[in-house]
């Protein structure tokens, strides 16, 4: 993350900054970063913008190399990066454009509980969630699967666990892609990845993953909030996790497979971390099959985390999850590659491979892939904050299709490395600081809380303001954290 970006950034709109393709001879398209005047100064402080320029060199890239306001340096692609490639023009697929944690994503549950009803039980609730839901590096879960079961799970996606009683049909309806990417090929997943995933489905993991109990503290769009079932003072649960060790291994395996692909297919890359292959090559097809399998595993993981959270709420409040109204508002992926139809020029519509690496799908009202109840308002876009700051629910808008291949930001975005955050926290107790502002936090160690302290992140309210102003997604409701468990 070291080293500031010193290249060009031309302001081309209220919240748009262009890196012209004239900046470098190898750029095929412009770069475009969504940010306001304050955020762009933070964004300049690392090499994220240079990575936007690097992505602009990919074969078959369409329109522009994009970055959301939560952009920061990542592996190959900047986190917050979006790129669409056309397979008909030799377009490539890049594991670095999806990320190591394939289908890392978030899901939001609502409830009929109010803050006043929950407050007396909050400590017991958070402690029970922490006891019952496995968190941390390498933690085994309560659900284990034989290799043949795991292969079926990776093929079927979330339906596999819902059919076993660990969820409801409604959960599938309100999950992006119904909780399943078609075309998954579990036989493309290595034995090592299978072994890592055997006992990790239904576990939270570590790093920035969390389960958070929240209260809706502000509604900005009454109509959209009503459709989503959100009201001020309501208790919600936000779950952030992905494909765990299985997805990491899939990425690792295929990065190694892609190492020689540029030479094989006759193109050059400015950074070997951008390792990629044509979508229609044997290497590209192998990665797509494995990536989809890992994505389906991640949806099963979040579904099992949901089931475990509902069981805890039932235990603490002595009512069924149904009577508590613990319905899924929506589940969105933010590390994924998907084939979607987009306009890439004047009256030119084509199917492209959209890489979203730390970016959330944000389809507008009327889009056929949105659950029917949401087609009048746009797809829910769920933006987690950090432990001590708000999260947001937005709704996708038409501007996302014109500007960002139907994509929005995915979080606040780091502005400090984990090492720097730990150094900043030296001699402090982050859990005590959070407790002082009314947030109960439970984690496996002080280091995890130090790495994820609010000061390590950009201002999520400011990040959300950018995508709202740009017409990509509009603000619906703000959620305040009151309890969090982490690895």
What are the catalytic residues?
410
Instruction: State how far the Cα of 243 lies from the Cα of 305, in Å rounded to an integer.
Output: 12
Instruction: State how far the Cα of 110 lies from the Cα of 61, in Å rounded to an integer.
Output: 39
Return all residues near 426 (Cβ < 8 A) that are at least 6 apart: none
119 annotated as ligand-binding: no
As a whole number of Å, the end-to-end CA separation of the chain is: 24
Instruction: State how far the Cα of 165 lies from the Cα of 148, in Å rounded to an integer.
Output: 19
179 annotated as ligand-binding: no
448 annotated as ligand-binding: no
Helix, strand and coil percent figures for the chain, each rounded to 5: 35, 25, 40
Tokens of 339: 């084939």
Q: Which residue has the tokens 């660990």?
A: 166
413 annotated as ligand-binding: yes
Instruction: State how far the Cα of 335 lies from the Cα of 356, in Å rounded to an integer.
Output: 6
101 annotated as ligand-binding: yes
212 annotated as ligand-binding: yes
Q: In this structure, how many other beta carbons lie within 10 angstroms of the beta carbon of residue 52?
A: 31
Report the DSSP beta bridge partners of residue 67.
33, 81
Could you tell me if residue 205 is left (phi over 0), alpha (psi between -120 and 50 degrees) or otherwise beta?
A: left
384 annotated as ligand-binding: yes
Report the DSSP beta bridge partners of residue 211.
239, 485
Report the DSSP beta bridge partners of residue 61.
85
209 annotated as ligand-binding: yes
387 annotated as ligand-binding: yes
Q: What is each CA distance from 146 to 64, 137, 453, in whole angstroms?
A: 44, 21, 38
211 annotated as ligand-binding: yes
Q: Which residue has the tokens 């779950």?
A: 239
Burial class (CB in 10 A: 0-12, 13-18, 19+), 76: buried
Provide φ and ψ at 389, rounded to 5°.
Answer: -125, 175
486 annotated as ligand-binding: yes
391 annotated as ligand-binding: yes
307 annotated as ligand-binding: no
Instruction: State how far the Cα of 203 lies from the Cα of 195, in Å rounded to an integer.
Output: 15
334 annotated as ligand-binding: yes
Enumerate long-range contacts of 125-128, CB under 8 Å, 24 or more apart: 125/213, 125/312, 125/313, 125/316, 125/483, 126/213, 126/440, 126/442, 126/483, 126/484, 126/485, 127/442, 128/312, 128/315, 128/316
Specify the 3-state DSSP secondary structure of 343.
Answer: strand
Annotated binding site for Mn(2+): 101, 209, 240, 334
Annotated binding site for GMP: 208-212, 334-335, 384-387, 391, 410-413, 486
């Amino acid at each position: 993350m070291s080293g500031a970006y010193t290249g060009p950034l031309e302001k081309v709109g209220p919240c748009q900054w262009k890196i012209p393709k004239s900046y470098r001879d190898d750029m095929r398209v412009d770069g475009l970063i969504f940010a306001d005047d304050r955020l762009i100064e933070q964004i300049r402080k690392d090499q994220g913008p240079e990575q936007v320029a690097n992505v602009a060199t990919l074969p078959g890239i369409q329109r522009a190399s994009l970055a959301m306001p939560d952009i920061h340096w990542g592996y190959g692609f900047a986190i917050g990066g979006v790129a669409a490639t056309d397979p008909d023009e030799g377009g490539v697929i890049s594991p670095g454009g999806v990320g190591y944690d394939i289908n890392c994503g978030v899901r939001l549950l609502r409830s009929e509980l109010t803050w006043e009803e929950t407050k007396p039980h909050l400590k017991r609730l958070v402690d029970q969630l922490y006891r019952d839901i496995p968190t941390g590096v390498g933690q085994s879960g309560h659900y284990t699967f034989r290799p043949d079961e795991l292969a079926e799970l990776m093929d079927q996606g979330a339906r596999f666990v819902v059919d076993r009683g660990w969820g409801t049909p409604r959960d599938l309806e309100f999950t992006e892609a119904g909780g399943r990417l078609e075309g998954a090929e579990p036989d493309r997943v290595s034995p090592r990845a299978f072994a890592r995933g055997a006992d990790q489905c239904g576990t939270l993991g570590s790093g920035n993953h969390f389960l958070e109990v929240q209260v809706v503290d502000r509604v900005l769009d009454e109509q959209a909030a009503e459709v989503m079932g959100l009201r001020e003072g309501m208790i919600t649960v936000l779950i952030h996790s992905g494909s765990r060790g299985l997805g990491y291994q899939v990425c690792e395996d295929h990065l190694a497979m892609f190492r020689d692909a540029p030479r094989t297919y006759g193109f050059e890359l400015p950074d070997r971390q951008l390792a990629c292959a044509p979508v229609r090559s044997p290497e590209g097809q192998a990665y797509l099959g494995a990536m989809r399998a890992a994505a389906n595993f991640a949806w099963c993981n979040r579904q099992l985390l949901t089931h475990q959270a509902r069981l805890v709420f039932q235990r603490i409040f002595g009512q069924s999850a149904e009577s508590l109204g613990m319905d899924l508002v929506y589940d969105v992926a933010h590390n994924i590659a998907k084939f979607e139809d987009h306009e890439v020029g004047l009256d030119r519509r084509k199917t492209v491979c959209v890489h979203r690496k730390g970016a959330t799908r944000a389809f507008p009202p009327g889009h056929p892939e949105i659950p029917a109840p949401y087609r009048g308002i746009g797809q829910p876009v769920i933006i987690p904050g950090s432990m001590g700051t708000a999260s947001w629910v937005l709704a996708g808008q038409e501007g996302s299709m014109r500007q960002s291949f139907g994509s929005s930001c995915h979080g606040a975005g780091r502005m400090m490395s984990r090492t720097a955050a730990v150094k900043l926290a030296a001699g402090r107790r982050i859990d005590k600081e959070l407790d002082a502002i009314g947030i109960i936090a439970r984690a496996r160690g002080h280091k995890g809380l130090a790495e994820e302290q609010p000061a390590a992140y950009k201002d999520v309210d400011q990040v959300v303001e950018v995508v709202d102003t740009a017409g990509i997604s509009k603000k619906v409701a703000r959620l305040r954290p009151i309890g969090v468990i982490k690895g």
